């Protein structure tokens, strides 16, 4: 596949992710901050997000598995996950966290367990999408092309 085709494929894929709500404008901001002097910025931030999220999801599972759930602690973890997902533009994860926090406030064990499943689901979905996106970018760069800038005029 030649570079032009790969670039078009990347643009289409990225646009789909926006339309389906997986990513929001903040992700574009990240891409704008990447340049020749910081060519791996997006990969680095996204990798941090993956590491951070997986740890938080583990902590959340453990916290909700306690006989006496400490909802303050649970809320603190969700707050952190909400923050980091918001910072990279992982919109659906962020929204799942917002719902999660509401149930934490109510101290509703069943609902919060469901929320955890929902957040996990959204996280693994976006992780998969981002890995695909970054792989496409990598292929373009390896073939000597540049990563096209996305215009969201749709």
Partner 1 sequence: MGMPAQFHVLAVDDSLIDRKLIERLLKTSSYQVTAVDSGSKALEFLGLNDDNGDEDRDSSADADEQVGVNLIITDYCMPGMTGYDLLRRIKQSSSFKDIPVVIMSSENIPSRINRCLEDGAQDFFLKPVQLSDVNKLRPHLIKTHSNINKRKGMEDDIHSPVPDRTRPRYNELEVV
What CA–CA distance (Å, rounded) separates 17 from 19? 6
Q: 63-85 b/e with 16+ CB inside 10 Å = b?
A: bbeeeebebebbbebbebbbebb
DSSP state letters, 54-118: HHHHHHHHHHHTSSS--HHHHHHHHHHHHHHHHHHTBHHHHHHHHHHHHHHHHT-HHHHHHHHHH
Binding positions for partner 1, rule: CB under 8 A: 25-26, 28-30, 32-33, 35, 38, 41, 44-45, 48-49, 52, 79-80, 82-84, 86-89, 149, 151-154
Smallest gap from residue 82 Cβ to partner 1 (A): 7
Measured from the CB atom, is 68 or 149 closer to partner 1? Answer: 149
Smallest gap from residue 151 Cβ to partner 1 (A): 6
Smallest gap from residue 104 Cβ to partner 1 (A): 15
Measured from the CB atom, is 26 or 118 closer to partner 1? Answer: 26
Measured from the CB atom, is 4 or 83 closer to partner 1? Answer: 83
Measured from the CB atom, is 44 or 106 closer to partner 1? Answer: 44
């Amino acid at each position: 596949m030649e570079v032009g085709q790969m670039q078009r494929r990347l643009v289409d894929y990225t646009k789909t992710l926006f339309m389906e709500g997986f990513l929001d404008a903040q992700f574009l901001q990240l891409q704008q901050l990447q340049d020749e002097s910081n060519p791996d910025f997006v990969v680095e931030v996204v990798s941090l997000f993956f590491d951070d999220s997986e740890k938080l999801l583990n902590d959340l599972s453990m916290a909700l598995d306690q006989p006496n759930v400490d909802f303050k602690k649970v809320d603190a973890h969700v707050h952190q996950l909400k923050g980091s997902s918001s910072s990279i533009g992982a919109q659906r994860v962020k929204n799942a966290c917002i719902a999660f926090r509401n149930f934490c406030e109510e101290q509703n064990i069943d609902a919060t367990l469901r929320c955890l499943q929902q957040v996990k689901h959204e996280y693994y979905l976006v992780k998969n999408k981002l890995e695909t996106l970054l792989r496409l970018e990598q292929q373009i760069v390896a073939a000597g092309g540049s990563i096209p800038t996305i215009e969201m005029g749709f």
